[in-house]
Amino acid sequence: MGNKEIVVSGIRPTGNLHLGNYFGAIKNFVKMQETSQCYFFIADYHSLTTHPTPGDLQKNVKQVLIEYLAAGLDPEKATLYLQSDLPETAELYLFLNMNAYLGELERVTTFKEKARKQPNNVNAGLLTYPTLMAADIIIHKAAKVPVGKDQEQNLEMTRTYARRFNNMYSKDYFPIPNAYNFGEQLVKIPGLDGSGKMGKSEGEGNAIFLNDDPKTLRKKVMRAVTDSGPTENNQKKPEAIQNLFTLMKVVSKQDIISQFDDMYNDCTIRYGDLKKQLAEDMVIFTEPFREKISELSANEDYIKKVMNQGAEKARESAQKTINEVREIIGFRKYH
Ligand code: TYM
């Protein structure tokens, strides 16, 4: 371990993982575990903003862990843990909140979007989502945070809070972390409903889950939004069509994509064929995940072991930071 670069990221347990989570985040996690000191967690504190029942919470946490493992995360290489197993994170969150201001929190795009979508549940946890995220990241003194494009602003907030702590108390204590993607640019995987990103809460049929069976998957893709087709050669693709091509880019072979691109450009494309091809390539891509998910789902003891082992490793690092932070702030150290 020693001097390896520290990497932290997490995913909320709000349902099965979809292709957006995979290409925006997990694909990078799997690569980074080979070379860096990685902490990947399940953001179960964060999921409380939407008030899940205890039963759903437990089920979803377990499912995300299973899908982490199915996607290739290795508990021997990366520390895999539940956010709520580190109360140190909650303590750091409290400290960071003392220097987080209403105005800046209210300006966060994801906050504004969620406040608009769920006007009857604009709770303090939703408002302070970015300080909890900052606590997750800096509790391990991370340098890199692999996330999708939608998390960019939250990462900017993390950088602000880390800097603010440093300026107030102790210059250079927290490293200033960067959002990260291997392909250099952060990724945004579109959904199937014609606009915006793939997401768990974007409505039925918008997301393709790693665990979707082939029949469901094909049905979703065949229902994806399109239009009546190009009418002029080399016409710019409208968003819904561009989205299908973007999805193809992550699951299909380059020569297949070029073929469809050419057919679009000379107006001979049939969207039914495009969708059939996309669906088949997605079925092939997701097949190994589905197999591993069902294998791991039967192994309750192993999942528990991974959780316990991860909690222990993660707490070691978190306790070290929180002790130092308490001392820096002027509190007594725990140990
Ligand atoms: P969450 O659970 O919404 O998403 C998990 C990860 O998947 C990425 N992602 C996408 N990437 C590309 N295209 C998409 N359509 C797409 N949809 C989701 C997200 O960018 C993210 O990387 N706030 C976080 C969880 C979190 C966290 C953290 C992340 C809590 N604390 C600390 C990093 C570090 C979230 O809600 O992600």
Look up the CATH number of the domain holding residue 172.
3.40.50.620
pTM, rounded to two decimals: 0.96
Total of domains in the chain: 2
CA distance 13 to 200: 10
Catalytic residue status for 275: no
Q: What is the pLDDT of residue 335?
A: 62
Whether 140 maps to a domain, the answer reads: yes
Say how far apart CA 272 and CA 257 lie, in whole Å: 15
pLDDT at 183: 76
| Dist CA 239 CA 288 (whole Å) | 30
Cα of 288 to ligand 1 centre, how many Å?
23
User: Is 141 designated active site?
Assistant: no
Q: Is residue 194 part of a domain?
A: no
From 16, 147, 182, 209, the mutation candidate for ligand 1 (largest count of ligand atoms within 8 A of CB) is 147
The answer to whether residue 197 sits within a structural domain is: no
- Helix H or strand E encompassing 7: strand 6-11
Co-location of 171 and 84 in the same domain: yes
Does one domain contain both 275 and 161?
no
What pLDDT digit, counting tens, does each position of 313-327 carry?
A: 999 999 999 999 999
Whether residues 137 and 159 fall in one domain: yes
User: Sign of dihedral through CA atoms 234, 239, 241, 242?
Assistant: positive
Give the pLDDT confidence of 47-86 residue by residue, as tens digits: 999 999 999 999 999 999 999 999 999 999 999 999 999 9
Angle between helices 214-222 and 271-297 (to 10 degrees): 150
Q: What is the pLDDT of residues 97-124, one digit of tens each?
A: 999 999 999 999 999 999 999 999 999 9
| Domain span holding position 92 | 6-187+300-329
Residue range 4-31: mean pLDDT, rounded = 96
Q: Are 15 and 45 in contact (CB under 8 A)?
A: no
Residue 1 has pLDDT above 60, yes or no: no
The average pLDDT across 217-244 equals: 95
Residue 249 sits in a domain of what CATH number? 1.10.240.10
240 domain residue, yes or no: yes
Q: Is 197 a catalytic residue?
A: yes
The answer to whether residues 70 and 48 belong to one domain is: yes
Closest C-alpha to ligand 1, atom 37: 11
- How does pLDDT run across 149-208, given as a tens digit for each residue? 999 999 999 999 999 999 999 889 999 999 999 877 899 999 999 878 999 877 778 999
Residue 193 lies in a domain: no
Give me the count of residues in the chain.
Answer: 335
Q: Does residue 269 sit within a domain?
A: yes
To test the pocket of ligand 1, the residue of 114, 150, 250 to mutate (highest count of ligand atoms within 8 Å of its CB) is: 150
How much distance in Å is there from the Cα of 10 to the middle of ligand 1? 7
* pLDDT band per the 50, 70, 90 thresholds, residue 213: very high
